[in-house]
Chain A
Amino acid sequence: MGQVEQSLRLSLLLPELALFALVLILTGTFVLRLKISHQLAGYLVMLGVLITGVLVVMTRLGSPDGNLLVNDAGSRFFKLLFLVATFLAVAMDMSFHKNVSKPSISKYSLLMLVLLAMMFLSMSASLLSIYLFLELCTISLIMLASHQFDSNLATKVPQKFLVISVLSSLLILFGFSFLYGLSGAADLIMMKLQIAVVHITQRQIGVIILLAIAAILSGLMLRGGMIPFNAWMHDLHKNLPIPTVALIATALVSAVLLAFAKIFINGLFAFYGPEMNPNDWGRLVAFVAFINIVFGTVQMLRQKDIMSMLFFSNIVQVGFILTGMISMNQHGLQSAGFYLFSVMFSLAGIYAVIGLVRQSTNSTNLGDFKGLSKSSMPLAILTTVYLMSLAGLPILAGFVAKFSVIDAALETAAVDKLYHWMYLLAGAGIVCAAIMLFKFVKFSIALFGRTEKSPLPIQFPAPLIAVFAITALATLFFGIFPDALLSLASQIPQAFGFIIE
């Protein structure tokens, strides 16, 4: 009987086990120095990711080990998000791979380790597992970043990445130690209950809880490269190869936001709301979201390089997602999930375009994109679609995402007078989205403008055509029929314990 139960529990980890087998195969191939072409390795990894995706959908829900990991509907949503992001990054890497001297197998095994860590992170239900898998994900990403450099100058970037990640890990741990001290438990549900009980019975934990909230929040902000800790992430965006940047911008940021949601929305639920002042983390995170939206937009307007412009646009998107999360209602979490998924498609698409242009021009200045339609009309149209979606133009997925996030914030603001500050956040979101739209429309017009330069020799490799097809279709489809993705995202609030109407 015990063995049957054991095998049933192991079956809940089938996607992760399949992915781990793929990591072992890739590592074994690398260690044994078997020669596999870059293309073959890429297709093998893409196949592995696809099989894992099917297994994720087929695996039933439940807890494989008790309280460290829980495979709920919310974790399934995030697993699919990470799988799609990795699939697109691998397809991009196959198209932009230039350095044939370095084996791609080791790179792909690191990439799969990042994915594995993120999949486990999505199932984490304890401070222990959140810390472990966040670290595993970051360390693998650092090694991946260091793998792709040849120049002396560039190796400084992974070093900086490592220093920042150690610092953020220490800040998070410092906060975790206080949460553990207050609750005597590490799993989030127990922690939520114990801290609430201690708060009600003793009421002397104000300073400790404030310290824990500040330490964890600053650690996560540092890891996610949010304002004001954005400088190192900006360096990464400018120096790393395009597929890795796409993975960091989509998957790593999603992982950090997921960790935030698990710790704050799940674990520190009792300390949300103005009545918890000064320990209310809601207003603190709202302030973070506000500065990300406002300063991200201001900085974005000043940029002359498309990578920098997109980096600050990503910061604004993070601000919007945080707005959805701190709305703390069913629609808020649902819209945050929708936002993460839809932005991922637009970002992957635009990074693929940048990679193609960079291959021809070796530069990412905004001026190099002027008259892109002369080189390739489909590429100019695709760029416009992705940018308009990121800015939130109607009939594209980005519009539904922004609209639902702002709607959720307004819903919370209308609950009570104490929550009226959410109006300010929603207002800032609307104004900054309009400014972003203005900037992107101006850039898109330049794409179709006249230029004296000769057309760029642009070629579309097969994997890249797949990236463009998936991202463009998803951006349009989820904009016109958002219900498909919204119903999938509605499982997130359920997993966080919100009552579904």
Chain B
Amino acid sequence: MFYYLSLAAALFAIGLYGVFARKNLPGKIVSFFIMYNAVILNFAAFNRFVRGDAPIGLVFIVLILVVFACQLLCGGLLFRQWRSQIRESEDNSLQILK
């Protein structure tokens, strides 16, 4: 289990570094992916080695994936809104120039 946890900790640290080092949104999203992998690996390892009566670690993993999907969807919607507003403002600027 030590190896799994070490790998998870290393992945989490790399992801955390990436979140702060990257200034653009795609870079941050990739770093979040790495961090999510680390967390999922942690839950999977604990579920495999120290689980109690129920496989709660697996339930956690499913839940994490669902929440992550929601967060990505939310990010996509925000990005679309932002892009349409940029277009709108560009159109307005062109109208003013005309």
Asked if A and B bind, the verdict is: yes
A contact residues vs B (CB 8 Å cutoff) = 127-128, 131-132, 135, 139, 142-143, 146, 150-152, 155-156, 158-159, 162-163, 165-167, 169-170, 173-174, 176-178, 180-181, 183-186, 190
* Chain B residues, CB < 8 A from A132: 63, 67
Q: Which residue of A lies closest to B64 (CB)?
A: A173
Note all chain A residues with C-beta closer than 8 A to B46: 177, 180-181, 184
Q: Are B74 and A139 in contact (CB under 8 A)?
A: yes
1/0 contact trace for B19-43 toward A, CB 8 Å? 1000001001000100110110011
A180 near B28 with CB under 8 A, answer no
- B78 surroundings in chain A (CB, below 8 A): 142, 146, 155, 158-159, 162
Contact call A128/B56, Cβ cutoff below 8 A: yes
Which residue of chain A lies nearest to B87 when distances are taken between CB atoms in the complex? A152
Contacting pair B63 A131 (CB below 8 A): yes
* Cα A143 to Cα B77 with chains together (Å): 9
In the complex, what's the smallest C-beta–C-beta distance from B33 to chain A, in angstroms?
Answer: 11
Pick from A155, A159, A177 the residue with the most CB of B within 10 Å: A177
Whether B67 and A135, one on each chain, are in contact in the complex, defined by CB atoms closer than 8 angstroms, is yes
Whole-angstrom CA separation of A155 from B56 in the bound complex: 38
The A interface is mostly helix, strand or loop, or mixed, namely helix
B81 touches A146 (CB 8 A): yes
Is the beta-carbon distance between B19 and A128 smaller than 8 angstroms?
Answer: no
Q: List residues of chain B with CB within 8 A of the CB of A151.
A: 85
Contact with A along B43-83 (1 / 0, CB 8 A): 10110001110001101100110010011001101110110
List, sorted by A's number, 21 A–B pairs whose CB atoms are closer than 8 Å.
A135-B67, A146-B78, A152-B89, A155-B81, A159-B75, A159-B79, A162-B74, A162-B75, A163-B25, A166-B71, A167-B32, A170-B15, A176-B60, A177-B46, A177-B60, A180-B56, A180-B60, A181-B46, A183-B52, A184-B52, A184-B56
Given A128-B56, A131-B63, A186-B56, A155-B85 contact (CB < 8 Å): yes
Interface size class of B (residues with CB under 8 A): 35 or more
Q: Do B82 and A155 have beta carbons less than 8 Å apart?
A: yes
Contact B38 A142 (CB under 8 A): no
CA distance A146 to B78 in the complex (A): 7
Instruction: Count contacts between A and B, CB distance < 8 Å.
Output: 97
Distance between B23 CB and nearest chain A CB, rounded to angstroms: 11
Chain A hits for B81, CB < 8 A = 146, 155
Contacts beyond the supplied A173-B39, A180-B56: 6 A-B pairs with Cβ under 8 Å: A131-B60, A165-B71, A173-B64, A174-B35, A177-B43, A184-B56
Q: Mark B82-98, 1 if CB is under 8 A from A, else 0.
A: 10011001000000000
Q: Quick one: closest B residue to A194, CB to CB?
A: B52
How distant is B55 from chain A, measured CB to nearest CB, in Å?
Answer: 11
Residues of A within 8 A of B79 (CB): 159
Name B's interface SS. helix
Alpha-carbon distance between A162 and B77 when the two chains are bound, in angstroms: 11
Q: Which residues of B contact A173 (CB under 8 A)?
A: 39, 64
Q: In the assembled complex, how far is the CB of residue A186 from the closest CB belonging to chain B, in whole angstroms?
A: 5
Contact A180 B63, beta carbon cutoff 8 Å: no
In the docked arrangement, what's the CA distance between A139 and B77, Å?
A: 12
Q: B12 to chain A: which residues have CB within 8 Å?
A: 170, 174
Per the bound structure, the CA–CA distance linking A107 and B32 in Å amounts to 29
CB distance from A492 to the nearest CB of B (A): 27
Closest chain-B Cβ to A275's Cβ sits at a distance in Å of 26
Chain A residues near B43 (CB-CB < 8 A): 177, 180
Q: Are B60 and A170 in contact (CB under 8 A)?
A: no
Which residue from A158, A165, A174, A183 sits with its C-beta under 8 Å from B39?
A: A174
Contacts of A167 in B (CB 8 A): 19, 32
A177 to B38, CA, bound (A): 10
Complex Cα distance, B57 from A186, in Å, reads: 9
Measured in the bound complex, the distance between the Cα atoms of B60 and A135 in whole Å is 13
A162 to B79, CA, bound (A): 11
Select one of A128, A135, A158, A185 contacting B70, CB under 8 A. Answer: A135
Q: Which are the 9 A-B pairs with shortest beta-carbon distances?
A: A184-B52, A181-B46, A177-B42, A155-B82, A186-B56, A173-B39, A170-B35, A135-B67, A152-B85
The reply to whether A170 and B71 form a contact with Cβ atoms under 8 Å apart is no
Partner of B25, one of A155, A159, A176, A185: A159
Is the CB–CB distance between B42 and A178 below 8 Å?
yes
- Of all chain B residues, the one with the shortest Cβ separation from A211 is B9
Q: Name the CB-closest residue of A to B19.
A: A167
- Closest chain-B Cβ to A259's Cβ sits at a distance in Å of 15
CA distance A135 to B52 in the complex (A): 25
Question: What's the nearest-Cβ distance from chain A to residue B96, in Å?
Answer: 15
* Residues B67 and A170 in contact, CB atoms below 8 Å apart: no
Q: Which residues of B contact A152 (CB under 8 A)?
A: 82, 85-86, 89
The answer to whether B89 touches A177 (Cβ under 8 A) is no
- Report Cα–Cα, A152/B63, bound state, in Å: 34
Residue of B nearest to A198 (CB): B50
A139 close to B71 (CB less than 8 A): yes
